[in-house]
Homo-oligomer: A and B are copies of this chain.
Amino acid sequence: MVKKNIIIAVIGGSQPDEESLKIAEQVGKLIAERQAILITGGMGGIMLAASKGAHEANGLVIGVLPGSDRNEANKYVDIPIVTGVGEARNSIITRTCDCAIAINGSYGTLSEIAYCMIYKKPVIGINTWKIDAPIIEAKTAQEAVEYALKKVRT
Binding site for B on A (CB under 8 A): 1-4, 7, 37, 58, 60, 62, 64, 68, 70, 78-88, 90-92, 95-96, 107-108, 110-111, 113-115, 117-119, 129-133
A135: min CB distance to chain B, Å:
12
* Majority secondary structure, A binding face: mixed
Cα A133 to Cα B114 in complex, Å, equals: 15
Contact of A82 among B84, B96, B110, B118 (CB under 8 A): B96
Identical copies of this chain, number: 4
Chain B hits for A86, CB < 8 A: 68, 84-86, 91
In the complex, given contacts A1-B2, A107-B117, what are 19 additional A-B residue pairs having Cβ atoms less than 8 angstroms apart? A1-B1, A2-B78, A3-B78, A37-B79, A62-B79, A62-B81, A64-B81, A79-B79, A80-B96, A81-B96, A82-B95, A83-B95, A85-B85, A87-B118, A87-B119, A88-B88, A90-B91, A108-B114, A111-B111
